Amino acid sequence: MNNTFHTLEFDHILRQLEELACTKSAKERIRSLEPYLYEGDVRKSQKDTTEARLIIESAGMPPIASMGDVDDILIIVGQDGCLSAEQLESVGMTLTAVKRLKDFLNRCRYLNTSLACYDEELDPLEHLREQLAEAVRGGRVEDGASRLLRSLRQDMIRMEEKVRAKADSILKSRKSCFADHYVTNRNGKMCLPVKKEYRSSVPGSVIDKSATGATLFIEPEAVASMNSELELLKMEEENETRRILYELTVMVAENREVFEADKRLIEKLDYIFAKGKLSAAMEAKEPQINMERNIRIRNGRHPLMSREHAVPLSFELGDRGNGVVITGPNTGGKTVTMKTVGLFCIMAQCGLHVPCEEASLCMNNQVLCDIGDGQNISENLSTFSAHITNVLDILKKAGPESLVLLDELGSGTDPAEGMGIAIAILESLRQCGCLFLVTTHYPEVKGYAEAADGVENARMAFDRETLQPLYRLVQGEAGESCALFIAKKLGMPDAMLLRAEQAAYGNLKPERLQEESGGKKKKHVILPEGPRIRKQKEEKGIQKELAVKFTVGDSVLVLPDKKTGIVCRTVNEKGVLQVQLQDRKIWINHKRIKLLVAAEELYPEDYDFSIIFDTVENRKNRHQMERKHQEGVEIRMEDE
């Protein structure tokens, strides 16, 4: 079922629903939501959703708290533990939320819904709620929680003021002894920051020291006795606080069952109102639930598509037969239609409303589907193999109470064999008695659907003027050959269209083609319009082949003498190149040369190779000729 949820995108619907819930328990319930199999459960759940939607639209959103740590609190109470001030405050806030929800539902009584009557089952435990509100606030026990606690805290304040006043007087009387001019608190004691060298001038106990050790934090003897009294007051205050916390915890424990019942009811209402919020967000309607194996949808739209872009779907299955075969162009909306029908059935059976004007949906014991590319790489299955594996598994599970959805039946293999497989699968589905919705491109399957009892053709509408799909389902009609029509609109010659149609529908044989062409097959070449591809002419000789193998400046090895040299002139048409050796230049066949280091790795890009190859006299004469004309000056080059 999880695979079906993912294929039909019901998991996306559940995520939307989960975001609308407040409590952890409601979110967990939504994540594990599956279609009900008992008719009464479906009808009750649909009624709850309808009433929640009515209350939301009439009175606004219900005040439901998240109750984040209530579960932990109940565990501590059940183990006879003591709750902290923060936890008791959380209990008080939860009871306040219970009271607000109770008052909200009470105000909705005029709507005459059974959902509003849940206010009678909510108990905000007024006495406990008031006690907690007076005793704890801001994560601490309030002074007014008991007379003794108030008295102890007042005594603590007075004693702290006395200690500080005494310490300040000592600080002012001996300013030169102190590193700072203020009293500090170290380890819970009032201390003075005394310079290390004046340690003996201030009698008392060293409580702490600075990081450098230059300052000592001393509790003076004069305030030590007062600090001791203050510590005793703090201990008494802590004991009284603990007593109050334990007393309040006992009160919570005594009302634990009521508190747990409130929690469970809030979580239940949170789940129901989340469904109502989703219905309002989708502008959905309550579908009628039938047991007659009928599916009727009027102007429905896929819940994950915006209202502006979705084309309304009207669909019927069950009255005129158990199966529908949809044909039509690619991207024409066949798969979306199939997913919408399957998704509506699952949503309705889970107690959710569906976005449509009207719908009557039957219950299914399972929704089985094979939609999209099911290629399984881990099992080394092709698209067709995965498709057939899934379909065979579906055929084993399908029964009279099942809904089967198969996309592009028999595709991914030889068309003739795929067509035969598609018809065999359809016949098996028809005989098992399930409801099924199938999409295909095979024209023979359309013929089967027209002839078989209980199977109906349907097509996706297509605009012949704009050549665009209309995404509208038309039942009772088989889809036409949109490919041939599109080809005609785009200018394909009539003769080609005729042959294409005859070949596609089996009316044209090779002999007929030969007869129509006058008994002889003529080769008719149509030159295409537009630019032509020109082929590059091949260069003659060996120069082209070796042009990139050896370049001027390459360091090479001359065989078989194994002498190193530098290429002066590249390979000519005879396959010979010139190499500068240490003492002379030679012409040699390229087959006796082996490249050692390319010139680009030895010299910069604009290197003047005349430095290596020219004689000193030639270089001198070239320099003079570049400056000005010189009579009688010449440069002698070696002949090839």
Q: How far apart are CA 219 and CA 205, in angstroms?
A: 5
Given pLDDT bands bounded at 50, 70 and 90, which one contains residue 243?
Answer: very high
For 140-162, the pLDDT digits (tens) are 999 999 999 999 999 999 988 88
pLDDT of 382 above 80: no
Q: Which pLDDT does position 442 carry in this prediction?
A: 78
Is 294 strand, coil or helix? Answer: coil
The mean-pLDDT minimum among 86-95, 351-360, 490-499 falls in 490-499
The mean-pLDDT minimum among 67-76, 191-200, 411-420, 560-569 falls in 411-420
Q: How far apart are CA 174 and CA 179, in angstroms?
A: 11
Give the mean pLDDT of 607-629: 71
Give the mean pLDDT of 421-441: 91
Range among 168-172, 201-205, 434-438, 607-611 rated most confident: 434-438
The residue assigned the tokens 């802590």 is: 238
Q: How far apart are CA 317 and CA 366, in angstroms?
A: 16
Answer whether 480's CB lies under 8 Å from 459's CB: yes
Distances in whole angstroms, Cα of residue 536 to Cα of each of 533, 539, 548:
10, 9, 18
pLDDT of 420 above 80: yes
Q: How far apart are CA 429 and CA 103, in angstroms?
A: 55
The mean-pLDDT minimum among 38-42, 146-150, 497-501, 617-621 falls in 617-621
For 280-332, the pLDDT digits (tens) are 999 999 999 999 999 999 999 999 998 888 889 999 998 889 999 998 666 67
CA end-to-end distance (rounded Å), the chain: 86
Q: Residue 407, CB half-sphere, CA atoms under 13 Å: how many?
A: 22
Is 556 strand, coil or helix? Answer: strand
Q: What share of the chain in percent tops pLDDT 70?
A: 86
Distances in whole angstroms, Cα of residue 140 to Cα of each of 88, 105, 313, 329:
10, 33, 60, 70
Is 566 strand, coil or helix? Answer: strand
Distances in whole angstroms, Cα of residue 139 to Cα of each of 91, 131, 133, 226, 406:
12, 15, 11, 29, 60
Answer whether 270's CB lies under 8 Å from 342's CB: no
